[in-house]
Chain A
Amino acid sequence: MSETNELLSVRNAKKSFRLGGLLSTKEIIAVNEVSFTLFKDKPDILSIIGESGSGKSTLSRLILRLLLPDSGNIELEGKDVHAMKGRKQELDYMRRVQPIFQNPFETFNPLNRVDEFLLATAKNYYPGEKPELTKERVEMALQAVGLSLSEVGGRYPHELSGGQLQRSSVARAIIPNPKILVADEPVSMVDASLRMSIVNLFQDLKNKLGTSIIYITHDLATAYYISDRIAIIHKGYFVEQGETAPILTNPKHPYTKLLVESTLDPRPGATSLADGDISTGDEEYLAVGCKFAARCPRAMDICRKVQPEETIDGTWKVRCHLYGGNI
């Protein structure tokens, strides 16, 4: 088992939630038939892109073991993560997969000093080590994000700027030298200028430490900027996945096209703004057939009846009746 090259493999993961009250039978499948793999020999930044309410965060919670999938499995280096039991295995898992949260101001306890929190984290992962060694680990993690213990030492979260705080929260995550970081909307709360510093940091971590990053966002511009691979998620399904640049410059799935068109081009008047019903609520989850059919400009009869299968078209995977000879 240990010679597998698969670092993280998600196979047909599915998670559903019941909608409405106790007796309701309506069900939405927030993550459905999702499969992807990260490899050991090639650190990757994988962007998972979708609108709000498309199942992005549910997927990240499944990977982080915060939710149990209904079916399918998630394996870390060949071991099912949801079969891990007991403190030792859990710690072992947390050493390898670490989350980065959306809001840095909520990551830290406002009443605790940032450095104390980081030291406690290091002690947790490496119990019984000499204090000097623990300190060194924290120092190394801070150095990797462009900070140092002397900068954050003795400071409370409110005394640091948003950028320093988000960097500290990344430093917290890399203390145990994880193989994978799961970053759920890490830049949606921060300013445009700060955004680039965080995104550049992810790229550095990948290049210098060989950490793979699952970058969950709805911002296509930064995803294009840093990620190697991309997966577009729509109402629980991966509708398109493969290498970032070809997909975003030449999208196949009509949903990806909609997202690309909606991304604002930062040049005066370069984006045509829509005025109409291009967004939607959760009702799409309940659609039979392709969930996007109701909004799709190219929808055919079959789209409203049959859920398309994932097929390979050219060099990447797409889930749409227009491709792969499904017509």
Chain B
Amino acid sequence: MSATGRPAESLARRLMRRVRRAGRVALVISAFAGFAGGTLLVWLVLPLVWLYGGGRDHNGRTRACQRMLARAFRVFHGYMRMMALLDARVTGEIPRRANGGPVVIIANHTTLVDVTAIAARFPNLTTIAKPGIAEGFFTRRVLSYCGHMSSGQDAIARGLCALRMSERLGQGFDVLIFPEGTRSPRGGLRPFQRGAFEIACRADVPIVLLRSTCEPSALTRDRAFWDQPDRVAILTIAPWKVLDPRDFGGDSLALQTHAEKAYKEALGLSDTPAW
């Protein structure tokens, strides 16, 4: 050890860093444990909300359940913000046609909590969840009461899911889809699938593009959920462009190609796949 005491200081710093890191891991685990507990609570409460919260109309009941779930998501994100883990900032309004009406919302999929952040801000939307989530014992009830659906395991299930989603638009619900199908690679974009664009074309509704960025990156696909950065991650999600299927002659493939190119330009990516 030198007279300046540097090694001792370094050891202290290392210890502090480890303690701080362990603290953040504990916090993020507590956040997701709270999320699981909240899911259980919502699971218990939703049948009552369904029966008494939204009148007799099926869509009204679905909307009441969606509002309830959105409140739970807001609590979750409030806790994440309070603990300086992740600050989700979903800003702006969803642009619509002059006569209103539903839209298909698409977004690049930066973090594990994009969907909860978006649904907390815009409750009356339905979305597609992976079968592993949508068919879980607790999550199945929660998602189905709120009008969400499973993406299905195969082409047939995915096709039927898309058909039902286009019907949701007819019932006045917005539909949220991540066209990459899963979380984006860090700093990149996966190829878009066509489903969201086909649904929009069939229902003749605009597609609203949301741009999602997270700095520093957190809750990405290549990191364990508890592996948080050392400082608060700022997740920013906002509408930035609207595409109307009418401008593309109802051609879902042209719409898909245009949207994917627009996202690459907006995110500063080349046409070369980034994964």
Are A and B physically bound partners?
no
Where the two chains meet, the residues of A that have a C-beta atom closer than 8 Å to any C-beta of B are none
